Amino acid sequence: MNKVILMGRLTRDPEVRTTPSGRMVARLGLAVDRPGARRQDAQPGQQTADFINLVMWEKSADLAQRYLTKGSQILVEGRLSVRSYEDQQGQKRTATEVVVERFEFAGSRPQGGGQSSSYGAQSSYSQPAAPAFGSVDDEEVPF
């Protein structure tokens, strides 16, 4: 079973592109706190975070582009994907990322005069069953 559930804040605005075949894809970064863990140079009680790369396809990517910004708090459910590719210098690289199948807005709206209301009816989105990541042609991935 390959299932990942994470809650955290976005480290950057979604980077949305369209593949040559017309599929929309978004890349995001998620900072997930590790309560109780400490860095060597951290102050007492200071939390550390893991930084996770996320990939969203199609409708999820569209929603991410429209509603998510750096600092947004979200809950994601997906699967871990590890893929290899060759960079521009010919070096073999490995990418580990979470392919998001479902996500929910977990925080309050970033705008709106400090109101702490939730996103309402569009508070969650489930991605339709997607093919395995390996079935996507590497030439379609725009980054």
pLDDT tens per residue across span 75-131: 999 999 999 999 999 999 999 999 999 999 887 655 543 333 333 333 455 554 444
Class of domain 4-37+46-140: mainly beta
Whether residue 10 is predicted with pLDDT greater than 50 in this model: the reply is: yes
pLDDT at 35: 72
Cβ contacts of residue 114 below 8 Å, gap of 6+?
none
Region 11-31: mean pLDDT is 96
Has residue 141 got a pLDDT over 80? no
- 8-state DSSP, 64: H
For the segment 70-82, what is each residue's pLDDT rounded down to a tens digit? 999 999 999 999 9
The per-residue pLDDT for 117 is: 32
Q: Are 15 and 132 in contact (CB under 8 A)?
A: no
| Whether pTM exceeds 0.75 | no
Closest by alpha carbon to 30, among 58, 47, 66, 55? 55
Angle at alpha carbon of residue 129, lines to 143 and 80, rounded to 5°: 50
Q: Identify whether the C-beta of residue 101 lies closer than 8 Å to the C-beta of residue 77.
A: yes
| Cα-Cα-Cα-Cα dihedral sign, residues 91, 143, 11, 106 | negative
